[in-house]
Amino acid sequence: MQLTLQEQGNWCVVTVEERRIDAAGAISFKEAMRNLTEGLTGPVILDLGQVDFVDSSGLGAIVAAMKTLGGKRRLHLAALTPNVERVFSLTRMDLVFPIHASVAAALLSDDS
């Protein structure tokens, strides 16, 4: 699973460079997220702009990634494509994650 990390001020922006986070890629996504965010203390934005498919295993992996951040840190999600947004809203996980229209919008948000 190809993820890239960029630090922007206080924020860490993780971009998923894949089309799918599905059952076949869920474990690899979790591991890559853990490796990238280990030791980081700032709030994290997950840029999903290139992802056009997330299934329930992928959703579970994104929930697990937020838990890995530890404490009360939320994982911010940005740039959800329509079918990915649908999975979050049907499972009510859109109430758990702060969701932003774009990375730029997420960077302007209040992380609280």
Partner 1 sequence: MDVPVGYDAVRVALLEWRRWIEGVNACSDLVSRAEIVLAEVLNNISEHGYVGRDGVPAPIALRCRMSVRGLHVMVVDQGWPVPADRCLAGGLPPVSLAAQDMDSLPEGGFGWCLIRELTCDLNLVSDGAGNRLSFVVPLCKPDDVADPAAPANQARPV
Residues that bind partner 1 (CB under 8 A): 20, 22-24, 53, 55-57, 59-61, 63-64, 66-67, 72, 74, 82-83, 86-87, 90-93, 95-96
**CB of residue 90 to partner 1, shortest distance in Å:** 5
Pairing of strands 20-21, 44-47: unpaired
**What angle do the packed helices 56-69 and 82-90 form, to 10 degrees?**
80
Q: How far is the CB of 65 from partner 1 (least distance, A)?
A: 10
Whether 78 contacts 45, CB under 8 Å: yes
- Work out how close the CB of 40 gets to partner 1 at its nearest, in angstroms, rounded to a whole number: 17
Query: In terms of CB distance, is 7 or 63 closer to partner 1?
Result: 63
Cβ atoms of 65 and 95 closer than 8 Å: no
